[in-house]
Amino acid sequence: MTINDMPGEHIAPIAIGARLKKSPHINTLGLRPNFSDYSENEKKLILKAEKIYFPTAFYADLFNTMGKKTFPSFHTYKFAQDKIKQTAVFKMQNIPHPETRTFYGKKQKSSVLNYFNFPFIAKKARGSSKGQDVYLIKNKKDLAKYLATHHPAYIQEYIQIDRDIRVVVIGKKIAIAYWKESGENDFRTNISQGGNIIFDPVPEKALNLALYTAKKCGWDDVGIDIIEKNGEFLIIEANMKYGTQGFRAAGIDYKKMLEKMILLKEI
């Protein structure tokens, strides 16, 4: 079925964010933090819409307060680029996750080696993506350099792998799943850091874990990274600003796919 073959009268879905701004089938109004800057007609469209698409982090919680549905969900925005919150919710809900701990202030930071042995992973706790600000800490010199510039310190056990799994969940289903293989001389598997996309079969157990995690956490537009340790699959982190290289490599037009899912009310 093509978009033009959709049954029934087509009323353009309302969007705030620009992800599908070029689509003739989605009415993208744009982000205006001053709600009064929308025209009277635009205000009516927003307030009467059953669901708002791509509400942006600014409006997601406002629409949630009003009881208005959004895609992505309010919860998806709340956990975006916040590894501390993600780790907390994983632990609270018994979702398998590498041993991870956050250290605040000089006193706590001085105790890192009471909990972790070299080597281990250190990351920027908030605001990072695409494998940026991820460090392999091999010795006290590496640790001191990291601690001097990162507040708080987000430390995670190092599990030696050469590839991990990316599962993208959109709505209530898996949109794509593939392996990410680390590049030459780099422990990171991120595609933006030189990693490679491999379309080997992804174990069903990993796929089920991704779906379970997305459902338990209320995330409906997320790239979930998974690794295997001693036969057990662990969630590394959730990426709400995931890359679309995997879709391109698989021959999938990401924006057309999203557009179709919206018009079919799958999301």
The answer to whether residues 52 and 69 touch, using CB atoms and an 8 Å cutoff, is yes
> DSSP string covering 65-76, please?
HHT-EEES-HHH
Q: How many CA atoms lie within 13 A of 231 on its CB side?
A: 0
Q: What is the pLDDT of residues 153-199, one digit of tens each?
A: 999 999 999 899 999 999 999 999 999 998 766 676 666 656 799 99
pLDDT of residue 130: 63
Q: What is the pLDDT of residue 106?
A: 95
Domain 161-256: CATH architecture, name and number where available: 2-Layer Sandwich (3.30)
pTM reported for the whole predicted model: 0.91
Write the pLDDT tens digit of every residue in 76-91.
999 999 999 999 999 9
Which region among 42-51, 124-133, 140-149 has the lowest average model confidence (pLDDT)? Answer: 124-133
Q: Is the CATH number 3.40.50.2000 carried by domain 99-157?
A: no
Q: What is the DSSP string of 147-201?
A: HHH-SSEEEEE----SEEEEEEEETTEEEEEEEEE--TT-S---GGGT-EEE-PP
Kindly state the average pLDDT of the residues 70-78: 98
Domain extent listing, the chain = 3-71, 99-157, 161-256
- Kindly report the length of the chain: 267
Is residue 196 within 8 A of residue 58, CB to CB? The reply is no
Q: Is 106 exposed, middle or buried (0-12, 13-18, 19+ CB in 10 A)?
A: exposed
- The answer to whether residues 163 and 182 touch, using CB atoms and an 8 Å cutoff, is yes
- pLDDT tens-digit readout, 188-242: 666 665 679 999 999 999 999 999 999 999 999 999 999 999 999 999 999 999 9
